[in-house]
């Protein structure tokens, strides 16, 4: 049986090669996954399967921030890895959660958004400098550096 790291690696390679992008918004659109920007209170994002249609809901408060791409990437991870699960991305908490499906969605987001090329580009930078330049949360880069996958 295929382990989750291999599955994530395979999916990202496929999207990069076949769709020509690692942008989570573009991938979601090409996969016919709806993205809706709505008021969600303390929840940054949410993935839901509604009437056999996959939806990513993003909090309107983060629609214009770099966190938007992180949330869409995380929820896209749920959409492709956990199609039938309904999952919420809670601000300042989800990247710290240890539940299996949240950890897998975080891994997917980290590897989708932070390519090996990007790691090489920022090789001389500290984690803080990387986060300041990209707008990605520190937990995302730490997760990406924790278990590097060769693509």
Band (pLDDT 50/70/90 cuts) for residue 151 is very low
122 inside domain: no
Residue 89 is predicted with a pLDDT of 58
Tens-digit pLDDT profile for residues 73-118: 999 999 999 877 765 555 544 454 457 888 899 999 999 999 999 9
Q: How many domains in the chain? A: 1
Measured CA to CA, the distance from residue 21 to residue 10 in angstroms comes to: 14
Nearest to 30, CA basis, from 74, 79, 70, 63? 79
71 inside domain: yes
137 inside domain: no
Band (pLDDT 50/70/90 cuts) for residue 130 is very high
Residue 118 is predicted with a pLDDT of 93
68 inside domain: yes
Residue 58 is predicted with a pLDDT of 97
* Domain CATH code at residue 102: 1.10.10.2910
Q: Which structural domain range is residue 56 located in? A: 4-115
26 inside domain: yes
């Amino acid at each position: 049986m295929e382990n989750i790291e291999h599955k994530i690696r395979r999916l990202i390679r496929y999207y990069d090669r076949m769709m020509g992008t690692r942008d989570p918004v573009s991938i979601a659109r090409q996969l016919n996954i709806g993205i809706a920007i709505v008021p969600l209170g303390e929840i940054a994002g949410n993935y839901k399967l509604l009437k056999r249609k996959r939806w990513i809901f993003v909090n309107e408060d983060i629609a214009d921030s770099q966190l938007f791409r992180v949330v869409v990437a995380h929820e896209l991870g749920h959409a492709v890895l956990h199609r039938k699960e309904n999952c919420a991305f809670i601000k300042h908490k989800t990247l710290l959660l240890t539940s299996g499906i949240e950890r897998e969605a975080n891994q997917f987001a980290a590897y989708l958004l932070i390519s090996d090329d990007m790691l090489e580009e920022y090789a001389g930078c500290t984690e803080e400098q990387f986060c300041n330049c990209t707008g990605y949360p520190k937990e995302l880069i730490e997760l990406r550096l924790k278990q590097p996958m060769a693509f």
